[in-house]
Amino acid sequence: MIIDRSNKQNKKLLFKTFDVTGAVLLEDEMEIENNRTILSGITSTLVNDELLVAGTWTVGNSKQTSGIFTVLIDPFRNQPVNYYDFGRFTHFLDYLSNKRAAKIKTRSAEALSLGKLPEYKTYAIPIRLDEQAEGFGFLVEVYQPSANFSPYPYYGNFGPPMYGYYPYYGYNPFMNRYYNAPYQYNQPASGDTKMLHAALIVLDRNGKPTHDYGLKFQELKTATLEQTSDFIFYKGEVALAFKKEKEVRVLRSSGEETELDTLASIPINPTETVRSESEGANYIRSWYQNTFYSWGYQTLRDTSKGSLEASRRVFYINKIEIN
């Protein structure tokens, strides 16, 4: 998937799939509005018949994101690219104060009614597009880069790939994430980054938003820009979670209501307690059905032993089942 900018007045999003020999299986192109720029995108995995592309867009050449876009791939007819600015979602702005979020939403509604582009932008990156029988779950994370940090997520210092060269061994923002691996499968961009918020947008089979959820990270600091949260989409219910040191914060849906819960790691040995946990190496990912798994490094203290033998450092993996 690439952006064709050879004609500035007729920008296009080009999509191709290939077989194992490199022969083209499917090819499609979608027109992009002149005053908008596609920043990044992810494709679905054809669990259903529909192939969806979802990602982020901005106004002009801004380095910050204005909203998300979705488009269904159909080489036999023209498919419009649907753009949604962040102010149109119920919970995307939950990491801001109530007053500021309300102001942004009001201005977004006014701009939409007047046919204008939204003013609000932020640093956001698409993380995962999950496909279910009833639709899709699209996870986006909001972050604040450091002063010396490239604002283009995962592109290093080369800028977004649609504007030219990007490193072969870096992260391709148009990659398709088939699964969540417990190892770093891309090269994260380094810098002192604040991860601010996880936004989960539920889409129908046509890629249209139906509802959304938001989970504030409480300014979780990371040394690299990489996936911080994850979600499970099981039997029509949603759980959105992130891990910070010893605790896992989970937002669960129950019909039209949501519930926020905090889980803590408990050592198997009853005489041991968690003394500390590595801040830079603890993660959470979806596993299967209604289950997450988390992993990291902890320092345990055994109260039944002497001071010289009381502490040990361990690598752990926890299974987290959401009921």
Query: What are the tens digits of pLDDT across the range 154-171?
Result: 443 334 433 333 332 233
Dihedrals φ, ψ of 315, to 5°?
A: -100, 135
For the record, the structure tokens of 293 come out as 């798994």
| Unique residue bearing structure tokens 């259903």 | 48
Tell me the pLDDT tens digit for each residue of 91-149.
999 999 999 999 999 999 999 999 999 999 999 999 999 998 888 999 999 999 876 55
103 and 164 Cβ atoms separated by less than 8 Å: no
Angle at CA 30, nearest 5°, toward 24 and 31?
Answer: 145
Which residues are within 8 A (CB) of 15 and not within 5 positions of it... i.e. 6 or more apart? 1, 26, 27, 28, 29, 30, 43, 53, 73
289 and 310 Cβ atoms separated by less than 8 Å: no
For the record, the structure tokens of 199 come out as 């936004």
Residue 12, pLDDT above cutoff 70: yes
Residue 279, pLDDT above cutoff 80: no
Which residues are within 8 A (CB) of 105 and not within 5 positions of it... i.e. 6 or more apart? 87, 88, 93
Dihedrals φ, ψ of 12, to 5°?
A: -135, 150
226 and 185 Cβ atoms separated by less than 8 Å: no
For residues 111 and 139, give the distance between their C-alpha atoms in angstroms, rounded to a whole number. 25
Query: Average pLDDT for residues 266-274, to the nearest whole number?
Result: 86
Which SS3 state, helix, strand or coil, does residue 17 take? strand
Buried b (16+ CB within 10 A) or exposed e, 17-30: eeeeeeeeeeebeb
Query: Average pLDDT for residues 290-305, to the nearest whole number?
Result: 90
For residues 121 and 70, give the distance between their C-alpha atoms in angstroms, rounded to a whole number. 18
For the record, the structure tokens of 19 come out as 């077989």
Whole-angstrom distance between the N-terminal and C-terminal Cα of the chain? 38
User: How buried is residue 159: exposed, middle or buried, by Cβ count under 10 Å (0-12/13-18/19+)?
Assistant: middle
Residue 284: how many CA atoms within 13 Å on its side-chain side?
Answer: 26
For the record, the structure tokens of 86 come out as 């962040």
For residues 38 and 28, give the distance between their C-alpha atoms in angstroms, rounded to a whole number. 16
For residues 275 and 157, which has the higher predicted lDDT (pLDDT)? 275
Query: Average pLDDT for residues 171-200, to the nearest whole number?
Result: 57
Residue 147: the pLDDT is 65
Which SS3 state, helix, strand or coil, does residue 179 take? coil
For residues 298 and 191, give the distance between their C-alpha atoms in angstroms, rounded to a whole number. 24
